[in-house]
Amino acid sequence: MEQTELDTPQVLHGRSAYAAKALELVRAAHSELLLYSDVLDRAFYGGEEFAEAVKQFVLGNQRAHLQVLVNQGQQARHSVPHLLELWRHLSSRIEFREPAEHQRENFRGEWLIADRRTLLERTTPEALESKFWAQAPRHGKVRGDEFEACWNEGQPSPELRSLGI
């Protein structure tokens, strides 16, 4: 198969570029958002603006949902208060899990996938470079399927469950 322009990612440099693109991706999503993160970094996902974009997304379509896999749920309790507050009110549309123990080392980066077509990815939590695919259905499907497999084996985070949601 020939690689097209759509398969070529835009390379982003710096944490602020990743945060801006994550917000843009959420605002453009239609029915599905999949987020895989090591710690749910406050700089990317902890602000009111990100939570408001997620709120508009899940309320904008009756089938819209957000699934979040987070390696370190205990840190998420403190890093994304606005997102967790939104989860309290929209728990049927927003779900959080932790990956199974044997999967944690395989997934160390950040993925944000919209509708299995648009993908934002960092290879490690510390990476300053990230990649954005605006329309990459093949790549989005592959990552989405990997996310789904990890989701299906994952479990609710004990730290987040203790919040009473």
Query: In CATH, what number is assigned to the domain containing residue 35?
Result: 3.30.870.10
Lowest mean pLDDT among 78-87, 121-130, 145-154: 78-87
Q: Could you give the number of structural domains in the chain?
A: 1
Query: Distance between CA atoms of 92 and 107, rounded to whole angstroms?
Result: 26
Model confidence band, residue 87 (pLDDT cutoffs 50, 70, 90):
confident
pLDDT for the residue numbered 11: 96
104 or 68: whose pLDDT is higher?
Answer: 68
* CA distance to 19, 116, 124, per residue, from 14 (Å): 9, 24, 13
Burial 32-63 (b: 16+ CB within 10 A, else e): bbbbbbbbbbbebbbbeebbebbbebbeeeee
**Whole domain around residue 133: which residue ranges?**
5-161
pLDDT grade for 125, boundaries at 50, 70 and 90: confident
| 73: confidence class by pLDDT, cuts 50, 70, 90 | confident
- Could you tell me the two tokens for 159? 């730290």
Q: Residue 165 has what pLDDT? A: 47
Provide the strand spans (E) within the chain. Answer: 10-13, 32-37, 65-70, 94-97, 110-114, 118-122, 129-133
Once rounded to an integer, what is the mean pLDDT over residues 42-57?
A: 92
Quote the pLDDT of residue 164. Answer: 52
6 pLDDT tier (thresholds 50, 70, 90): low
CA distance 22 to 46: 12
Residue 70 CA neighbour count, 13 Å, CB half = 24
Neighbours of 29 (CB within 10 A): 25
Tokens standing for residue 161: 């469950």
Whether the predicted model's global pTM rises above the 0.85 cut: yes
